[in-house]
Amino acid sequence: MAALTTTQLEILDLRHFSAAQLKPLLRDEAKRWHQRLLWDYTRASTTLLEYLDGRILPGYAALTSGQVRGYAFAVFEAAKAVIGDVYAFHETESLHNPTCDTLLHHLIELLQATPGIDRIESQLLMFPLGALNHPFRSAGFRSYPRLFMTCGLDLALRRHPRAEGEGPPHSFSAATHSLHPWHPNFYEPAAALIHRCYMGHMDAGINDQYQTLHGAQRFLHNIIRFPGCGIFDPENSWLLRNPQTRAIEALLLSSRVRPDTSHITQLCVEPTFRGHGLGQQLLQHHAARITRAGVKTLSLTVTEANTPAVQLYQRNNFSTLHRFEAMVWDKRHPA
């Protein structure tokens, strides 16, 4: 089929279109998520279709000959906009994405011109590193390369070389820490731990929710309640508490992105306890438990420049399946 030029595209307000008109496109996108990232995107697509029928999402649809070929949308969070998705038929797998480039140009222009918006964040997981450089860089966005890593559970449970100072794998001492599965009562202290762990961290530049306690609470609420990162798996999310103070000092949260794949949405350790092997122990415990539930693969995302975290995952036999970019525009701190 001959390639379409951007001059053949018609760009219209996304709110003019019903879920039924977008459904074939989202069905195609879900198929690609499943094939490339081992991710069942069905529930996320269903939620998105409900919002589309509500005609409330700011964004654009790309049409050729009256047929929807692509879409892009964003959501607003106070003074911030988050680009939720951009997708088009036959795109996302290479550096050449003309329909998505055009949609992004229009969406970014809209968001940057919206009164009260001084920050825009984006993590478009499907696109390889550098794929959407022009629309983002020309609008003043800063790039943060990230990794999508996976590990077969047969590898995750093997012995591995430990870093200096780490304790033995999968060993929780009752004298120093007690292990607990997730419970709603942990919501507030878990959010507080996440906030402490990311104070001054590079990832707080990618997601500004980490910068405040309230933001960390919203972050935790989103991964528990909404399917964007999979279906939250409380029975396979773990916390380590100090038995004397009862404080949470490390946690691992996970979701199920398809029946045989578990995605680690958060792994963090109290800064004063880093280097003691707590993250390692949580990873090993999670891998052992999730295997019994029939899961074959673990996945996660990590910022490429976060060397200690990347090395931890590599020691546990995670490998990089895909490199992508987080993009941030901040009116107060231009790139």
pLDDT of residue 59: 97
Cβ contacts of residue 217 below 8 Å, gap of 6+?
Answer: 187, 188, 191
Q: What does the pLDDT look like over 143-190, one tens digit per residue?
A: 999 999 999 998 665 545 444 444 444 455 555 789 999 999 999 999
pLDDT of residue 157: 59
Alpha-carbon span 193 to 247, nearest angstrom: 9
> Is pLDDT of 108 > 90?
yes
pLDDT of residue 69: 97
pLDDT of residue 177: 85
Helix boundaries (H) for the chain = 19-37, 42-53, 98-112, 133-137, 153-156, 187-197, 203-206, 213-225, 278-292, 307-315
Q: What does the pLDDT look like over 314-328, one tens digit per residue?
A: 999 999 999 999 999
DSSP string, 249-262: EEEEEEEEEETTEE
**Do strands 80-88 and 297-303 pair parallel, antiparallel, or not at all (unpaired)?**
unpaired
Ordered structural domains, the chain, with CATH: 6-139 (3.40.630.30), 149-323 (3.40.630.30)
pTM: 0.90
Q: What does the pLDDT look like over 41-68, one tens digit per residue?
A: 888 888 889 888 888 899 999 999 999 9
Cβ contacts of residue 232 below 8 Å, gap of 6+?
Answer: 223, 224, 225, 253, 255, 265
Measured N-to-C along each axis, helices 187-197 and 213-225 cross at an angle, to the nearest 10 degrees, of 120
Alpha carbon distances (Å) from 195 to 82, 118, 208: 20, 22, 10
> Is pLDDT of 122 > 90?
yes
